[in-house]
Chain A
Amino acid sequence: MKRDNKMTVIFLTPALLSFCLVFLYPTIRTLFMSFFYVRTVTDNLGKWEFVGIGNYIKLFSSPMFRQSLVNIFNIWFWGGIAVFLVALVFSVILTSGYKGKSFYRAAIYLPNVVSAVAMATMWIQYAFSSKYGLFHSVFTFLGLEKAAAFQWTSPDNQFFAMTLAYCFGMVGYYVLIFMAGIEKIPVDYFEAARLEGANLFKQFTKITMPLMRGVIKSSIVMWSVTSIAFFIWSMMFSPLDPDVGTITPMVYMYNLVFGRNLTPTDPRLLNAGAGAAVGVLMTLMIIGVFGLVNFLIRDKKLQY
């Protein structure tokens, strides 16, 4: 069919305009802004003051920001390992002929369709509560006094509690993705391996994992993109002030630019340009992970 030029323009323009408006223009402006001292975010270009990489230097000299980087790394790395391992185990189990596959899959995915604010409230106000909480009750019932007395939301433990609750919900998404990946592998491969006497573990390491490379690769990128945007859970665990135990770069930036709880320890940093620098750093991290994953995991185009 011949392409109608008028239609092409009419159909494509709104989507392209919206892309330029909320992605292209803001990305470029944020990049520029990160090299300027900008007192408030609503200041126009005329009031910007060039400072070179000054904003970046100031950010890295702030203990709060450095802590937010450590936190986001721990969530990304340790949380990622935990989520991927659990999701792999679940998806291997569920694709090996268990009854009730769709029910389990749907139930494990459920937290992903629920508002994170609601999920976090359930965890903080119920599961982790030291008065009537779920863990408290279960451990008391089991006679594990020490475990029952564990203060989940105390400053020392809240990072662990937050990561645990977050990862619990994230597992479901990767179970879905991994299951779809495994189900695309032809059954004959597993049958042939079984006839040759390969056990489940051998089948997993020799067939499933190598053929899932592409899926794992895109999942790591996906996990990185969502981890960088870690925000709601941190805000829920420290609802009043940003806290060293739970702060992430996005929360740091929010408080720096929009927050009423401006970090009093860093008055030099009250600057929207520094907020822009946080955004640039996070974007660079995503690009870095993307490059690294593409370099480390070679994904040959497989035909089956």
Chain B
Amino acid sequence: MNRKQTLGRLPGYAVLNLWVLFTIVLVGWIVLASLSTTREIFTNTLLQSGLHFDNYIKAIVNHNVGMYFINSMIYTFAASFGIIVISAPASYILARFRFRGNKLIQSLFVGSLGIPQIMIILPLFYLASIMRMTNSRSLLIILYICLNVPFTVFFLLSFFATIPGSFEEAAAIDGCTPIGTFWKIIFPLAQPGIITVGIFNFIVLWNEFFIALIFANTSELRPLAVGLYTMVQSMRYIGDWAGMFAAVIIVFVPTFLLYIFLSKRIIAGVTGGAIKE
């Protein structure tokens, strides 16, 4: 029986392994190409003249990838932090208290998850231009925060709902203000959810493309994804394929590392966010 079962599973394993192998080869080849010369890439003789780490230096210095990287860091960290500061208190109120309009606010937030960016982008551009905020880092950070608040509020609802009310009562008896109670006691208790959604937002923002393409028009403001796009676009003039693959790896590595260390948490977050009772 057991042997039969193993045999029956062979096709399944074959398909899974082939799929995963393809992913590994796809990424692995890019890593090797990023350490070869452009000539070697085109003659299919990767790494023949040894490892060329200078591709990375060239990408970072000559192709501005270093600056894009710093921009991405600024946008991603500032916005991930801001999203939590705005979303966590709102989510707590919505999860904890019954009041008129609570359900309405929740459905508005959920509904906004279905609004495509193409529907909201034009007025946002108009607002930014009349406020003379186009081409500034703070504009992009503010947009990233606001755009991700509804999802984060929605995601955190179930985490705040499960914290027993006795914590607040005990804190109130000890003379702690409701606001103080939230930040000192409830917020730390909801940490598993906050960290999960924080990582999730981090990955989404790191990879964000459309908003940055429209609002970060100058080269000094571009995050990595847009920087890489403009680099690929001008590849026919630059001709530095090895440098381009190095840039791909520089974009790839941060979220990949996060994923390697935190895949369990990220996967639990994805399924937890999508499958709700």
Residues of A within 8 A of B (CB): 1, 3-4, 7-8, 10-12, 14-16, 18-19, 21-27, 29-30, 33, 41-42, 44, 89-90, 93-94, 98, 102, 104-111, 113-118, 121-123, 125-127, 131-132, 134, 137, 173, 176-177, 179-181, 184, 215, 218-219, 221-222, 225, 228-229, 231-232, 235-236, 239-240, 249-250, 253-254, 257-258, 272, 275-276, 278-280, 282-283, 286-287, 290
Of all chain A residues, the one with the shortest Cβ separation from B41 is A132
Residues B113 and A225 in contact, CB atoms below 8 Å apart = yes
Residues A26 and B123 in contact, CB atoms below 8 Å apart = yes
Residues B149 and A116 in contact, CB atoms below 8 Å apart = no
Residues B114 and A225 in contact, CB atoms below 8 Å apart = yes
Residues A111 and B23 in contact, CB atoms below 8 Å apart = yes
Residues A19 and B99 in contact, CB atoms below 8 Å apart = no
Interface centre among B24, B90, B168, B244 (most CB of A within 10 A): B90
Interface centre among B123, B126, B153, B275 (most CB of A within 10 A): B123
How many contacts A-B (CB < 8 Å)? 267
Residues A11 and B244 in contact, CB atoms below 8 Å apart = no
Interface of chain A, helix or strand or loop or mixed? Answer: helix
Output the least CB separation between B194 and chain A (Å): 15
Residues A177 and B264 in contact, CB atoms below 8 Å apart = no
Of all chain A residues, the one with the shortest Cβ separation from B276 is A218
Residues A18 and B86 in contact, CB atoms below 8 Å apart = yes
Chain B residues positioned under 8 Å from A218 (CB to CB) = 274-275
Is B209 interfacial (CB-CB < 8 Å)? yes
Output the least CB separation between B233 and chain A (Å): 4
Residues B119 and A283 in contact, CB atoms below 8 Å apart = yes
25 cross-chain CB contacts under 8 A: A3-B99, A7-B179, A8-B97, A14-B89, A16-B105, A22-B124, A23-B108, A29-B123, A44-B126, A93-B12, A102-B263, A106-B263, A114-B255, A117-B229, A118-B248, A121-B244, A121-B248, A127-B26, A180-B274, A221-B114, A225-B114, A236-B229, A240-B233, A258-B214, A280-B119
**Binary contact track B22-52/A, C-beta < 8 Å → 1, others 0:** 1111110110010000000111100000000
Residue of A14, A19, A117, A239 touching B108 (CB-CB under 8 A): A19
Is B145 interfacial (CB-CB < 8 Å)? yes
Residues B118 and A1 in contact, CB atoms below 8 Å apart = no
User: Bound state CA distance, A8 and B95, in angstroms?
Assistant: 12
Residues A30 and B228 in contact, CB atoms below 8 Å apart = no
Interface centre among B169, B232, B233 (most CB of A within 10 A): B232
Interface size for B (C-beta < 8 A) is 97
Residues B122 and A257 in contact, CB atoms below 8 Å apart = yes
User: Bound state CA distance, A239 and B226, in angstroms?
Assistant: 12
Of all chain B residues, the one with the shortest Cβ separation from A7 is B178
Residues B115 and A27 in contact, CB atoms below 8 Å apart = yes
User: Bound state CA distance, A79 and B27, in angstroms?
Assistant: 23
Residues B251 and A117 in contact, CB atoms below 8 Å apart = yes
Chain A residues positioned under 8 Å from B19 (CB to CB) = 90, 107-108
User: Bound state CA distance, A291 and B165, in angstroms?
Assistant: 38
Output the least CB separation between A231 and chain B (Å): 6
In the complex, the 9 A-B pairs of residues with the closest C-beta atoms, listed nearest first: A15-B90, A11-B89, A26-B120, A26-B123, A180-B271, A18-B146, A29-B123, A279-B119, A22-B146
Residue of B114, B116, B179 touching A10 (CB-CB under 8 A): B179
Chain B residues positioned under 8 Å from A118 (CB to CB) = 225, 228, 248, 251-252
Known: A1-B169, A122-B26. A110 touches B259 (CB 8 A): yes
Residue of B30, B118, B179 touching A282 (CB-CB under 8 A): B118
Interface residues of B in 146-170 (CB under 8 A from A): 146-147, 149-150, 153, 165, 168-169
Is B133 interfacial (CB-CB < 8 Å)? no
Residue of B9, B16, B255 touching A115 (CB-CB under 8 A): B255
Output the least CB separation between A5 and chain B (Å): 9
Residues A222 and B274 in contact, CB atoms below 8 Å apart = yes
Residues B252 and A115 in contact, CB atoms below 8 Å apart = yes
Given contacts A8-B97, A279-B121, 20 further A-B contacts (CB under 8 A): A10-B89, A11-B89, A11-B182, A21-B146, A23-B108, A41-B122, A41-B125, A41-B129, A93-B16, A113-B255, A113-B256, A114-B252, A115-B255, A121-B228, A121-B248, A132-B42, A137-B44, A228-B118, A231-B209, A290-B114
Is B64 interfacial (CB-CB < 8 Å)? no
Known: A115-B207, A126-B33. A1 touches B172 (CB 8 A): yes
Is B53 interfacial (CB-CB < 8 Å)? no
Is B56 interfacial (CB-CB < 8 Å)? no
Chain B residues positioned under 8 Å from A1 (CB to CB) = 96, 165, 168-169, 172
Residues B120 and A173 in contact, CB atoms below 8 Å apart = no
Residue of B12, B44, B86, B256 touching A132 (CB-CB under 8 A): B44
Output the least CB separation between B83 and chain A (Å): 9
Residue of B30, B43, B118, B258 touching A250 (CB-CB under 8 A): B118
